[in-house]
Amino acid sequence: MKIALINENSQAAKNEMIFSTLKKVTEPMGHKTFNYGMYSAEDKNQLTYVQNGILAAILLNSGAADYVITGCGTGEGAMLACNSFPGVICGHVVDPSDAYMFAQINDGNAIAIPFAKGFGWGAELNLQYIFEKLFEGESGQGYPKERVVPEQRNKKILDEVRKVSLKDLITTLKSIDQDLVKGAVAGDKFKELFFANCKNAEIAAFVKELLS
């Protein structure tokens, strides 16, 4: 699995700590990790939590990433932004039990973590345990056992509803402020990471045109 980390400007100073914790947990599992920034609070390219959602959608819909770890001060804004786009199901995760139940019940592909609210002593340990529970075994298996069948049925229903309620990604991106979209893909390492992993020629062409 390819796992991408995206930080917005208010919590960018924590990027290195978050990414090192993510790698520590997931790389021994055989996953690949990619850091899309922001890498520091002083980065030239400043990402808002709305742009986190745009970037997450581009990565997930193109196959450049299979899972996105993101967040903001409370995690709420980043979650709402991610869920505004097709192909992204993002949960708000505060602790390891949130991570486990989101993975098993909702079977999503992104989480938004509060990187300021409640982020005190033991924060890096909480992150470690979140990542361990999030990627523990196969997702979508249900929890508790007696709820497996209705939960899996509801997930399929939700997927069908989202197909109707959300437009395709490129149509969506072309309909919003293009400067906002360009800013989401303007990071120093974006081109290097994205084009090496992108599996969707149409989205790749759109992004190339956007960056030209």
Residue pLDDT, tens place only, 147-169: 999 999 999 999 999 999 999 99
- Residue 129 lies in domain: 2-211
CATH number for the domain spanning 67: value is 3.40.1400.10
Tokens read off for 180: 């906002």
Per DSSP, helices labelled H in 12-48 are 15-26
| DSSP-based three-state secondary structure for 25 | helix
Residue in the block written with tokens 């991106």: 173
Measured in degrees and rounded to the nearest 5, phi and psi for residue 159 equal -60, -40
Question: Using one digit for the tens of pLDDT, what is the confidence trace for 92-144?
Answer: 999 999 999 999 999 999 999 999 999 999 999 999 999 999 999 999 999 99
Measured in degrees and rounded to the nearest 5, phi and psi for residue 30 equal 100, 5
Alpha-carbon 119 to chain mean position: 19
Q: What is the pTM of this model?
A: 0.96
The chain-wide mean pLDDT, for the chain, equals: 97
Structural domains counted in the chain: 1
Tokens read off for 69: 């770890």
For residues 19-28, average pLDDT: 98
Question: Using one digit for the tens of pLDDT, what is the confidence trace for 67-76?
Answer: 999 999 999 9
| DSSP-based three-state secondary structure for 30 | coil
